[in-house]
Amino acid sequence: MKKSVLFTLAAAAMMVSCGGSGADNKPATASDSLEVRTVECVASGDVVYLDLDYVMMSSKFYAAEGKALEAKMEAFQQKAATAQQGWASQEQALANEYSKLQSDAAKLESDYSRGLITTLNAQQKQEELQTKGNSIQSRMTALQNTVQTEGASLQAEEQALAEEQVVLMNRFQTITRQALDDINADKRYKMIVNAVSVIDADPTLNISDLILRKVDELYEAGALE
């Protein structure tokens, strides 16, 4: 997760409510890592933080809904890439055929102008080249139609997946908002900050696991149904 930041929390702005005396709660230094980890107690005070990415990726909500959508999106990307590679391969093959046709036509004209082939043979070869040219043109038109039709279908599928992703995020935000409201119903926290805005903080101010447990509880209870 990309980390950016906030301010260093002043000790006077919070009171630690963990088991044992306050002397047992050693504050983090500037070198402490912001990696999310489970803590046995969570500080209470004016400001705490949580890692929303961690909460989502670790949640039962994501395991049930997020991974399924992620798999669909990966399958679509592979499908789209395969289709594009196939179109490009066919187009290149037709381009090679057309290039050879042009070379054969140039050679025929050269041979005829130098008297190396009879008029009758030249006419026959010209007709053969014309037939090949028509075939190439017909297949190129068919390929263009395929690209247009299948491309439109892929675009519609991509848009549908994008909409599913928006709905997924809206559902996650809804259940997370409910979890936050429930956890902070007593207004013990004056501010809850996203971890992407934190540069340095006491790890006991990290309420990610607390929110994660609440999100899982709400999800299993059917809060989104």
| Tens digit of each residue's pLDDT (9 = 90 or more) over 12-21 | 223 333 333 3
Cβ neighbour number for residue 151 with a 10 Å cutoff: 14
Residue 39 contacts residue 12 (beta carbons within 8 Å) = no
Looking at the domain assignment, is residue 65 inside a domain? no
DSSP helix, strand, coil percent of the chain (3-state; round to 5):
65, 5, 25
* Count of residues making up the chain: 225
Looking at the domain assignment, is residue 201 inside a domain? yes
How many domains does the chain contain in total?
1
Looking at the domain assignment, is residue 20 inside a domain? yes
Would you call 47 helix, strand, or coil by DSSP?
strand
Looking at the domain assignment, is residue 206 inside a domain? yes
Looking at the domain assignment, is residue 116 inside a domain? no
**Please, what's the b/e burial string for 60-90 (b: 16 or more CB within 10 A of its CB; e: otherwise)?**
ebbeebbeeeeeeeeeeeeebeebeeebeeb
Looking at the domain assignment, is residue 106 inside a domain? no
Banded model confidence at residue 111, pLDDT cuts 50, 70, 90: very high
Average pLDDT along the chain: 83
Looking at the domain assignment, is residue 181 inside a domain? yes
Half-sphere exposure of 130 (CA within 13 A, CB side): 6
| Average pLDDT over every residue of 162-166 | 97
CATH code at position 17: 3.30.910
Q: Rounded to an integer, what distance in angstroms lies between the CA atom of residue 205 and that of residue 188?
A: 12
The pLDDT value recorded for residue 202 is 87
Q: Which domain holds residue 181?
A: 11-58+177-220
Looking at the domain assignment, is residue 129 inside a domain? no
- For residues 26 and 139, the model is more confident at 139
Segment 47-97, tens digit of pLDDT: 899 999 999 999 999 999 999 999 999 999 999 999 999 999 999 999 999
